[in-house]
Structure 1
Amino acid sequence: WMIGVMLPAVAGMLLLSAFVAPTILARTGIRNGCVAMLGIAALLFAILPLVEGQPTVFLAIYIAACLATSVTTTAAFAMIAETVDYHEAQFGVRREGLLSAGVSLATKVGMALGTAGIAFILAGAGYDP
């Protein structure tokens, strides 16, 4: 029953992070804010196995970890825009189309390789759904 809460929580936290991230990242800076949020998310995800028998606590920690991770996802788009501005300042031309295409390709390849890697690990461990 928890999957019905956990999957929408990921999308919901992405939406919420669009409102929360600017405040956090304005105070910490994009780089430091992302490093801190990823550290918090890793810590929260590491705690999850310890509270596996307590569904309410598990879900609360999971949702907080998703929010922390989502802040970094939101920040990625600001970093892309800053990269376009930096490139223009250095070379006098804007290449936002090329950068957007590169980011899109890298994201898709990364998701494909990550998903395939998990599938290969599960298959190697003898997982039988």
Structure 2
Amino acid sequence: MERLSLSEEEAMRGFWKFGGGCIKEVMELLPVPRPPYTTLASTVRNLERKGYLSSRKLGNTYRFVPSITAEEYRRQHLGALVTDYFRGSYKELVLFLAQEQKISPDELQDIIDMTDSRRLRL
């Protein structure tokens, strides 16, 4: 699936939060200043065309449901980011974050501890 624009991601966050909904419901979740209703409607139709949403007519409105979970989207696009910018190495990504001071040694240790505890449960 193709990468989403910022406005498309914002709209999808609303649909993911509720597990689906109408454009009006998602509009209320968007940051101020909110786009015009017609702009959001176009964005939603693009998301449907791209396969991220499916719709069902309810009376004179449509209810949209995500076709992909937020977790699936993150997994796909994080993988692409790592492939494109870090030679496919998650280790390189973590090293970059540490060098840029975006993650502290304590946070890295917490991640190691969490990983070790998950391994023990498997």
Tell me which of the two structures has the higher relative contact order, counting C-alpha pairs closer than 8 angstroms and 6 or more residues apart: 1
TM-score, normalised with respect to structure 1: 0.26
TM-score (norm 2): 0.27
- Report which of the two has the higher share of strand: 2
